[in-house]
Amino acid sequence: MKNIKNVLVINGPNLNLLGTRETKFYGNISLTHLINDLQIKAKKLNMTLDHVQSNAEHVLIDTIHNSKDNVHYIIINPAAFTHTSIAIRDALIGVNIPFIEVHISNIYSREDFRSHSWLSDISQGVICGLGLDGYYWALKTISNRLI
């Protein structure tokens, strides 16, 4: 079941607007472009990469639950749910899949409420403020650890 190295990228609310939303924080590259490119990189690293973006908390939770038996590693940008969702925290603990938390912007240089994450202490690591590069660094780290 876990013979192939499967990575799941999860993006939370409003990240479907990547490329047009608050470009000073999030840049002007679309989510579709990012994911297509990450999939190419993953293939070169001998991994599969699936992606789910949702604006609904329960969809993200169901996605995490459904990953239990077929995903080796999760890269998650929970977006605003970072700062609010104990339910996503519990889901990640519940399935026991290692994950890396990514934020495009530097959440520590913005409003105070963005400085707290409900996920960071249970993550393998956090990458924040490096723009979209954060997703690529997360993928690279996963490939270093899995192969």
Residue 21, annotated as binding a ligand: no
- Taking CB under 6 A as the criterion, the residue among 61, 74, 79, 97 binding ligand DQA is 79
Binding mask 5-44 for ligand DQA (x = CB under 6 A): ---------x------------------------------
Strand arrangement of the beta sheet that strand 6-11 belongs to: 48-53, 6-11, 73-77, 99-103, 125-128
Q: Where are the beta strands (DSSP E) in the chain?
A: 6-11, 48-53, 73-77, 99-103, 125-128
Provide the angle, in degrees to the nearest 10, between the axes of the packed helices 86-95 and 57-66. 10
- Taking CB under 6 A as the criterion, the residue among 37, 39, 114, 146 binding ligand DQA is 114
Nearer to ligand DQA, 4 or 113 (CB): 113
Residues found near ligand DQA in the complex (CB under 6 A): 14, 77, 79-80, 82, 103-105, 107, 114
